[in-house]
Amino acid sequence: MNQTLLVEIQTEELPPKALVKLGAAFANGIANGLKARDFLALDSVVTPHATPRRLAVTITNVAATSPDKSMREKVLPVSVALDKDGNPSAPLAKKLAALGFPDLGVADLERAQDGKAESFFYTYTASGSALAGGLQDVLLDAVAKLPIPKLMSYQRPDGATVQFVRPVHLLLALHGEQVLPLTLLGLDAGRQTMGHRFLSHGQAIAIPHADNYGAVLESEGKVISSAEGRKESIRRQLLDKAGLDKVLMPESLLDEVAALVEWPVVYECRFEDEFLAVPQECLILTMQTNQKYFALTDAAGKLRSRFLIVSNIETSDPTAIVGGNERVVRPRLSDAKFFFEQDKKKTLESRLPLLASVVYHNKLGTQLDRTERVTILATSIARRLGYDVPLAERGARLAKADLLTDMVGEFPELQGIMGTYYARHDGEHEEVALAASEHYQPRFAGDTLPSTNTGLTAALADKLETLVGIWAIGLQPTGEKDPFALRRHALGVMRMLVEKRLPLSISDLLGEAVAVFEGQSAFKDPRAEVTAFMLDRLRGMLRERGFSPNEVEAVLAQNPDRVDDVVQRLEAVQAFAALPESASLAAANKRITNILKKTEAAIGEVKPELLKEQAEKNLAAAIARVRPDVDAAFARGDFTGTLKTLAQLRDDVDAFFNDVMVMADDLLLRNNRLALLSQLHGMMNGVADISKLAT
C-alpha cells in the first residue's frame, strides 16, 4: 500500500548559512534514490523540511514494496558457453551458479545475436524489494553526499567516534504510521523527535503518522518545519510591526534569520537618536551584518531609531529580550560613530599618498598607480565628451581615497559610499563627491548607471583600466572563474555607452587605456581580445532585452566601433524584418556577400555604357533613384527609414538575379556587374548586415 514516507535526522544546531542547501540536498538525495529503485509514484510530492536542529523530508505516495521487474541477463558468448562439440562448458556452469541459476541448462537460455557474435541470455522476473531495505541504502548514500561545509567528529553514547555536520541525537523514519527499521550513525529509527529547545520543555514528541509531521511539530513542538514557512512568517511579522515605516529586509538576511530560529517571533527595539548623525548606510550595515537585525526607514527613506529583531523565544513579556538586544547593538553603533568622527578629521586628499602603500596587483603596482591611470583616462573621456575636465580629474583622483578610512576598513562594503560622505564634509563639489560612489556603478546586473557626468567618466575609466590591465597580465576570465569581475566591468562599459548614447569609439577608449600602462613590464596589448569580449557581453545584453539572435548578429556582425546607436539600429532591423520584402532582400544580400567574397580583382565604379541587360539597367536606375533618400535618412539617424527605403528595390533585385548572369565570360561585363552589386551591397549594409536575417 502506498503511503507517505517521513525521514528525519534530529541534530544539534546546524550552520545557518548552509541549512537550506543541506535540507534540499537531503530531500533530493532520498527522493532520487527511491525513484531510481521504483518506490515512487508519478504523482509523488517531495517536501523538504529543515530547521536549525533537523533535516527531514516527506514524500507522498511511496510504495511499501517495489514492483516486480522483468530482467534479461547476458550469460556468456556462445563460443565460450559451448565446447567444440556443442556441449555446455564448465565456464557456463560456473557463470550460471554465480548468477544464482545453477539448475538452468542450455535449453532454458535464449540464443541471440550480440554485436558480431552470438550470446546466451536468460530472462526472468525479479521480485520487488521491501522499502526498508532499499531506503537503508538510499539514506546512507544521501547522507554521504550532503554538501557539508566541514565535518565534525563526535563520540556516540556507546563510545564510537563518528562524523557528521553536527552531532545527531535521533533518527525518525515512518511509512504511514509504521516505523521503518533503519540505522544511521549508530542510531535506530523510531517515531520520536524533539520540538523547540525551550518552548517544548525538552519533551520528546511522538509522530503518529507521516502525514501529521508538520502539524504535530508545530502544535506540540513549537517548530515550523519548513524553512520557507518560517521565512514567510518572519516577513509577515516584520511588515506588521513596521506599521507605516518601511522595513529593510534583503532576501539573504531573511534566509539567514529563518535558518537561526525554529519559532520566529518579531520584537521592536530602539537605539539613541544621537546615532542618526552617522551615515545611515553604516548603521544599517552593522545592524544587518553583525546583529541580523532589520532596520526601519520612514517613507522618504530616512533611517528610524527603532529596529526589529527576530527571536527564537515567544513570551508575553519580552523586556529582557528587547533590553538585551538594545545593549548588544549599542557598542556596534558607537564604533560606527567613532570611526565616522575620526575619519572626518583627515581630508580625502591628505590620504592619497597613503595609497602608495596599498598593493593593487604585484604586476600592476599600487592603488596610487592605479588612481593615476584612472585619472588620466577620466580626464581624456571628459574632454572627448565636452564635460567639465577639472571636475572629472578631481573626481577620479579622490574616488579611491576612502579605502584608507577606518570605516571602510571595518566595513569594506561601504567603499565609495563613505567617500561621498567624506568628500561632502571636505567641501568638494557635489559631482566629485558622488563620483566616489558612482564610479563603482553599475555594481551588478540591473544596477543604476552614474547620474552625473563626473561619475560617468570615472566609472568608464575605472572599468576600462581594470579590463585592460588585468587582461594584459593574463588573468582574463576562464570558464566560471572571473575573480576580477571582468564580465561585470565589460557589461558596465557597454551599458554606459549604449544607454547614455555616448559618441565614443571603442578602439579609441581601449587605445587610451593601453597607453596609460606604457612602460609596464609583462604587459601584452589585449585590445583585440577585450574588444571581442566586450561585444560578446553586448550580445547577451541585447538578447536579454528581447532582440532575436539573428537581429543582434545583423547589427554586431560588422564589429561596430561605436555602439551608441546600436539599439536604434536593432529597432530598425526589427521593423525591416516585418516587411514582406525583407526575406527576399536578405536572401539576395547573402547571395551578393558570397559572390563578392569570391572576387579577387579590385572592383571599380559602375560604367553605364556597359549595362547591357534591361534588368541591370533597371537596378542601376533604382539604386540611383533611392540613394539620396537612403543617404539622407541614414545621416539623420533614421535607420528604420533607411531600411524601409531600401525595401523598394526588391523587385529590381529579384529581376536582376533572374535575368542577368553576373559572372559573364566577358571580363568587362563581369566586373561592371560586380561593381553594381558592390554598390548595392554597401547601401544595404549601412545600418546592419541584413544577410544575417536570411534563413
d(CA 454, CA 27): 52
Contact 405, 392 (CB under 8 A): no
d(CA 577, CA 694): 10
Residue 107 is predicted with a pLDDT of 87
447 assigned to some structural domain:
yes
Output the CA–CA distances (angstroms, integers) from residue 665 to 452, 616, 660, 668, 669, in the order listed. Answer: 63, 16, 12, 9, 8
Per the structure block, which three cell numbers stand in for 322?
528587547
Q: Do residue 443 and residue 371 come from a single domain?
A: yes
Residues 366 and 484 grouped into a single domain: yes
What type of residue is 43? D
For residue 10, the cross-strand partners are: 54, 170
Domain stops at, among 98, 126, 154: 126
Domain match, 299 and 231 both: yes
- Neighbour count for residue 548 (Cβ, 10 Å): 15
In a domain, 537, yes or no: yes
Query: What is the pTM assigned to this prediction?
Result: 0.79
Q: Which of 78, 95, 126 is the last residue of a domain?
A: 126
In a domain, residue 556? The reply is: no
Q: Is residue 618 a contact partner of residue 549, using CB atoms and an 8 Å limit?
A: no
Task: Give the pLDDT confidence score for residue 336 in this predicted structure.
Answer: 94
Task: Tell whether 38 is covered by a domain.
Answer: yes
Under the banding of pLDDT at 50, 70 and 90, the label for residue 570 is very high
pLDDT at 601: 66
Please say whether the beta carbons of 49 and 28 come within 8 A. Answer: no
Mean pLDDT over 70-79 rounds to: 87
- The amino acid occupying position 310 is V
Same domain (yes/no): 506, 381: yes
- Report how far residue 247's alpha carbon sits from residue 254's, in angstroms, rounded to the nearest whole number: 12
Q: Is residue 666 part of a domain?
A: yes
Do 50 and 167 lie in a common domain? yes
Please report which confidence band the pLDDT of residue 617 belongs to, taking 50, 70 and 90 as the band edges: very high
The β-bridge relationship of strands 265-270 and 294-297 is: unpaired
Same domain, 510 and 368: yes
The span from the CA of 170 to the CA of 202, in Å, is 13
CA distance 343 to 408: 10
CATH of the domain at 660: 1.10.730.10
Contact 40, 59 (CB under 8 A): yes
Domain boundary among 343, 376, 391: 343
Say how many C-beta atoms besides its own lie within 10 A of residue 528's C-beta. 10
Separation CA 290–CA 225 (nearest Å): 26
List the domain range (segments joined by +) for residue 191.
3-66+130-221
Eight-state DSSP code of residue 482: -
Residues 293 and 277 in one domain: yes
Same domain flag for 397 and 310: no
Q: Grid coordinates standing for 380?
A: 581624456
pLDDT at position 184: 95
CA distance 544 to 363: 36
pLDDT at 603 over 90: no
* Number of structural domains the chain divides into: 5
Does 458 lie in the same domain as 534?
yes
pLDDT digits (tens, 9 = 90+) for 255-284: 999 999 999 999 999 999 999 999 999 999
Q: Which residue type, as a one-letter code, is found at position 418?
A: M
Mean pLDDT within 231-258: 96
Q: Are 90 and 46 in contact (CB under 8 A)?
A: no
d(CA 528, CA 1): 67
Taking residues 60-84, report their average pLDDT: 89
Per-residue pLDDT of 383-436, as tens digits, reads 999 999 999 999 999 999 999 999 999 999 999 999 999 999 999 999 999 999
Inter-helix orientation angle 389-398/430-438, to 10°: 50
For the segment 456-476, what is each residue's pLDDT rounded down to a tens digit? 999 999 999 999 999 999 999
